[in-house]
Amino acid sequence: MISVKLHELGLMDYQEAWEYQETLFSEKLATKTANRELHSEHQIPIAHDLLVVEHPPVYTLGKSGKESHLLLDQMALSDKGIKYYKINRGGDITFHGPGQLVAYPILDLEQLRTDIHWYMRSLEEVVIATLAEFSIVGERYPGFTGVWLDADKENARKICAMGVRTSRWVTMHGIALNINTELDYFSHIVPCGIDDKAVTSMSAEKGGDLNFAEVSAAFIRQFAKIFDVEIV
């Protein structure tokens, strides 16, 4: 069974976590390049990592996003203490902040399954299974990524955003699950470029804050189960 090293990073600045991801990501790519010159019995094993983190308030804009989807200017961002980064994942703009579980799997899909669609749907399934442990019914919404509640109804609302980057089958970036997230932050953006759907959190759905550590543990457990890996 493939082992995935867990990094529980606590509350970490977005830039610092991004640089940490990039370091692990680049190391994997370098190892894959080196292995091309080696016979199979001498190849260097490629490690897998799962980073679990919270961030101070920050908006991030993906490669396919529109800057107009950020509804605050730089002065307003400074006044509210929110950082803003243009980053190299897919997707549009989203928010990260305290009370939100952010997970960055840095995996070599050549050791799992070389199928980006499978990878994205598996990440969604991890979140759906995690929500189910807390009696929340998460769903996929055809045409959109991430996890939603009441996806087939007028009051469809997003509870988990997702955006990834891959190169030579190595992944980075990942998912953001709203647990006890302050939802007012989403009113200053067009979340994921979708202007006619609401955003929600587990606490909003349950009527009170949840134990963040319990949700995080459930997510890690479901990640191991659905990807069929060992968390170490």
CATH number at residue 80: 3.30.930.10
pLDDT at 197: 82
Q: Is 223 helix (H, G, I), strand (E, B) or coil?
A: helix
Q: Is 192 a residue of the active site?
A: yes
Catalytic residue among 120, 123, 192, 218: 192
Of 66, 25, 64, 68, nearest to 47 by C-alpha is 25
37-95, pLDDT tens digit by residue?
777 767 778 889 999 999 999 999 988 889 899 999 999 999 999 999 999 888 889 99
What is the distance between the alpha carbons of residues 88 and 114, in angstroms, rounded to a whole number? 21
Q: How far is CA 222 from CA 29, 162, 181, 227, in A?
A: 27, 17, 21, 8
What is the distance between the alpha carbons of residues 50 and 232, in angstroms, rounded to a whole number? 10
In the block, residue with structure tokens 């457990």: 221
Amino acid sitting at position 149: L
pLDDT at 196: 77
pLDDT at 54: 98
Please give the tally of structural domains in the chain: 1
3-20, pLDDT tens digit by residue?
999 999 999 999 999 999
Range with the poorest average pLDDT among 4-8, 52-56, 147-151, 194-198: 194-198
Structural domain boundaries, residue 132:
3-231
Amino acid sitting at position 132: A
In this prediction, residues 153-177 reach a mean pLDDT of: 95
